[in-house]
Amino acid sequence: MDPLARPPTIDADFLHWLEHQITLIRERQFAQLDLNNLLDELEFIVNSQRNALGTRVEVLITHLLKCEYQPELRSKSWLTTIYNQRQGIERLIERSPSLRRHFTLFAAAEYNRAVRSAVFETALPRSVFPDELPYSEHQLLDFDFLP
């Protein structure tokens, strides 16, 4: 890099800034790193992965509840959604195995949102659904499990 050229800023060109940060790390020029923004971006990535898992778990649980409490309406679309969410969860965990350690916590945390969605989508009263997650981690991740 030209010593007189100004380093890219995160606001002007995110990708260029990120590439520049990678180059600085590879060249071990740690003092030149934009540490505050770099830390913010790393935290954002971690949170994005967790949010992606949470969203997939919520959708999965919602559809399992719909299948269990409205079995007469079970459709190929619901089953496809369940399959796709399990595929996505599997992929996230393969790429970031540490997510597996917290899977049960994610599922429990997303359960109320999933129930809210199931109530909205089924028009069944909230009281129909259990107060706590009725599915084990094994059941949630098992491609052959349907309630």
> 44 in a domain, yes or no?
no
Q: What percent of the chain has pLDDT over 70?
A: 97
For residue 61, give the amino acid letter: I
Query: What pLDDT score was predicted for residue 7?
Result: 86
Query: Contact, 103 vs 111, CB < 8 A?
Result: no
pLDDT score, position 99:
92
Q: For the segment 21-63, what is each residue's pLDDT rounded down to a tens digit? A: 999 999 999 999 999 999 999 999 999 999 999 999 999 999 9
Domain span holding position 75:
50-141
What's the pTM?
0.84
SS3 content of the chain, % helix, strand, coil (to 5): 70, 0, 30
Whether 62 contacts 147, CB under 8 Å: no
Is 124 a member of any domain? yes
What's the total number of domains in the chain? Answer: 1
**Beta carbons within 8 Å of 26's beta carbon, 6+ residues apart:** none
Q: Which residues of the chain have pLDDT under 70?
A: 1-4
